[in-house]
Structure 1
Amino acid sequence: MPRNADNELHWQAIAQRYALEPGPINLENGYFGRMSRAVSAQYLEHVAFINRSNSLYVRQRFEQGEQVEIRRQLAGLIDADPEAVAFTRNATEALQSLIRNYNCLQPGDQVLISDLEYDTVKGAMRWLASYRGVEVIEISHTHPASFDSLVQAYRDTFAQYPRLKLMALTHVTHRTGLVMPVKAIAQAAREHGVDVILDGAHALGQIDFNLAQLGIQFAGFNLHKWIGAPLTLGFLYIAPERLADIDPDMGEFHYPATDVRARTPYSTPNFPALMTLPLVLEEHRALGGSAAKGARVNYLRDLWVSQVRPLPGVEVLTPDDPRLYCGITAFKFTGRDQQVMVDRLLKEHGVFTTLRTGAAFGTCIRVTPGLVTSAADINVLINAITELNKD
């Protein structure tokens, strides 16, 4: 176990850096993360400053130079060339831009999605069928999943559908926290001439990865989930050698066609949030980055899963293969209405979770600890599941 992952005093001190609203234990930290007190304070200062200075500062200083340094720091987060990244409001916007502007499709080509993709990504890929004349191939992964079954599912699909040209792939699935074997799948896709657009919304900040080593050339990310940035910050990545394969967004002309920023809608961004990003990245590094954050939430995940998995009336849907899970994990009470159980966890035990639907295995309850979650909080969850399972 990485150093400090199970050190409650260490993480209790870190938790003090965040302001918490009194109330239920929040185990739905997957929606968006918290800003630290320092980040929140600086963000509010920037809001007030931009409101006072208005466009004078933005036109004269931010647009002319400061955003260049912020973009450079962002690229450093994923060891990328600054010319390969462009800010968006979130991962969804980034992924939609990549999908709709991918220009290597011809009528009759095929594109691929699975049941584990984010619904908006599925919708964008289906949109291609209407506007590009392509066929959408949809697969459902077998449950329980294994590393080999996931990779083989894609190898079989590539062999069965030789007209596949593009696929969506989610690094960390938002329903169960399943970590897909991205490198192996991307390698198989490359062997069959299939491009991959990676949804990295839940991966960035809790999993260490290198896009080049994974073989990924197109990706979208969030900064407000596990990095700790204000809401409305995300970005897209396009490998420089593949920039020409993504068109400027709807004829975007504010940047030249050789600039990756032309691949996103041009609009007034959240300047205060962008100005706060250097502090966000500094804090992320100081905490130990994705390695430390991931180790902590994985430790908390293991605490409850190890106690709950043996229960006869509970099914944990995320495998225990360390290659395939992160801090996010889903379960279900067998033979029960999962929404009712989510409500009972909150009302009877003060534990806030969320319902997830859309995968082949059906409805589930997602549990996502965060940096402020303690082992004591996890024990409350364990006791709550155990008690509800007795009904």
Structure 2
Amino acid sequence: MPENTLRAHDEAFWQTFVGRYDVDPGAPLNLENGYFGRMSRTVVEEYQRNIEFINRTNSVYVRQHFDLEHSEAIRRQIAQLIHAAPQAVALATSAVDALQTLIRNYNGLKPGDQVLISDVEYASVKSAMRWLARQRGVELIEIVHPHPASYESLVGTYRQAFTQHPRLKLMALTYVNHLTGLVMPVQAIAETAREFGVDIILDGAHALGQINFDLQKLGIEFAGFNLQKWIGGPLALGFLYIAPHRLADIDPDMDEGSYPASDIRSRTPHSTPNIPALLTLPLVFEEHRALGGASAKGARLCHLRDLWVTAVRDLPGIEVMTPDDRRLYCGITAMRFTAHTDQQAMADRLLDEYGIFTVVRQTSAGPCIRITPGLITLASDIERLTQALLELSRT
């Protein structure tokens, strides 16, 4: 077995790993780790030190050191995280912030063009694309992917859309669907989009930290990410990526003049960031690398996912809505109780009767319960989930 696969199955290691995190005593078992990730105890302590440090030193430090050198060192580390050049990334407060910035400042449209979204995009991305269509006088095309999805159907749906709508110029694409955990075949979709001259803005919020990827190999030139899900950073930290040769295709944000137009930082609003959180990132990245990065995290999360999915996939009364094609899933997976129309009521029973916290999501194929283990989830926790699903499927 590859080293990361061996580590993913090493329950003794993960039992020790759990000790690096603080958990509220008596809290339900959290299987809704897709919202945001926990910071380790050492990261929390570092964050608190940085809050106190900035509060003491105030603008003297920020003006003389952070603005001039330390912020750039952090930006270089963020760029290294995705194997990009520093001039290709700019800070944002979240993936949504980054994606909205890219969408509203994309300047490659003229009246009569078309833009594309699908049913799996994040709500804020959909609304931003709808806004863009109204503002630019372009047509919005919305597609729905078939359920259950396959690698071929996902790529084929886009090829069909590109063929049927020859005026398409821009599309949103979500790497990991926040509703069901479906992983999109980004590289194949991007290759098809390139054939038809369609640009992609990629939502990488759930991909960063649990999937190894190379944006150049994927064929992605515009993307938004956050650092609060699988990287382990403080809340309200994100960044955008623009391939350097495409910078001119994204306008400075509302004529932002704090940086020259040749600097990607002009593509985001200039404001005072959460400096203590940013100063905490070097430790966050160090811990991420020490664990083995996205390869190790992704292998562990997929192992935990496979434990419960394998146990319940064929149970009467349960439908696992995320495919088992290893190319199309990660740690997040969705299911539903087929004998019950009200999935929220079943999620409430998971919580009230078994002490397991999950979240209900609405998809184009109907409501589902999203189950997302975290890095401090143990195999014994998954056994508890499996038993609960087995018992509830019989009711």
TM-score range, shorter chain: over 0.9
TM-score (norm 1): 0.99
Shift of 1:389: 1.0
What residue in structure 2 maps to residue 283 of structure 1? 287
What residue in structure 2 maps to residue 343 of structure 1? 348
The amino acid that maps onto 1:150 is: L
- 1:12 corresponds, among 7, 11, 15, to 15
**160-169 vs 10-19, which deviates more?**
10-19
Write out per-residue CA displacement over residues 205-251 of structure 1, whole angstroms, 9 at most, x where no aligned residue.
00000000000000000100000000011000000000000000011
**199-208 vs 335-344, which deviates more?**
335-344
The amino acid that maps onto 1:345 is: L
1:250-269 equivalences under 5 Å are 250-269=254-273
What residue in structure 1 maps to residue 195 of structure 2? 191
**C-alpha separation between the residues in 2 aligned to 1:4 and 1:284?**
15
**C-alpha separation between the residues in 1 aligned to 2:166 and 2:265?**
33
- 2:361 corresponds, among 356, 363, 367, to 356
- 2:231 corresponds, among 219, 227, 230, to 227
**C-alpha separation between the residues in 1 aligned to 2:259 and 2:339?**
55
The answer as to 2:93 corresponding to 1:92 is no
The answer as to 2:182 corresponding to 1:182 is no
What residue in structure 2 maps to residue 21 of structure 1? 24
Shift of 1:335: 3.6
The answer as to 2:389 corresponding to 1:385 is yes
The amino acid that maps onto 2:376 is: V
Write out per-residue CA displacement over residues 286-315 of structure 1, whole angstroms, 9 at most, x where no aligned residue.
000000000000000000000111111010
What residue in structure 1 maps to residue 63 of structure 2? 59
Shift of 1:349: 0.3
Runs of 4+ in 1 over 6 A off after TM superposition: none
The amino acid that maps onto 1:21 is: D
**C-alpha separation between the residues in 2 aligned to 1:87 and 1:40?**
21
Shift of 1:360: 1.4
1:109-258 equivalences under 5 Å are 109-258=113-262
What residue in structure 2 maps to residue 73 of structure 1? 77
Write out per-residue CA displacement over residues 67-117 of structure 1, whole angstroms, 9 at most, x where no aligned residue.
111111110000000000001000000000000000000011000000000
Q: Secondary structure at the match of 1:4?
A: helix
Question: What RMSD in Å do the two structures reach over aligned CA positions?
Answer: 0.6
The amino acid that maps onto 1:384 is: A
**6-15 vs 148-157, which deviates more?**
6-15
Give ranges in structure 1 of 5+ residues lacking alignment: none
The amino acid that maps onto 1:389 is: S
TM-score (norm 2): 0.98
The amino acid that maps onto 2:333 is: T
Q: Secondary structure at the match of 1:168?
A: strand
**C-alpha separation between the residues in 2 aligned to 1:108 and 1:128?**
13
What residue in structure 2 maps to residue 315 of structure 1? 319
Give ranges in structure 2 of 5+ residues lacking alignment: none
Q: Secondary structure at the match of 2:107?
A: coil
The answer as to 2:296 corresponding to 1:295 is no
The amino acid that maps onto 2:77 is: Q
The answer as to 2:379 corresponding to 1:366 is no
Write out per-residue CA displacement over residues 5-39 of structure 1, whole angstroms, 9 at most, x where no aligned residue.
11111111111111111211000000000110111
The amino acid that maps onto 2:247 is: L
Q: Secondary structure at the match of 2:328?
A: coil
**C-alpha separation between the residues in 2 aligned to 1:8 and 1:188?**
41
The amino acid that maps onto 2:354 is: H
Shift of 1:128: 1.0
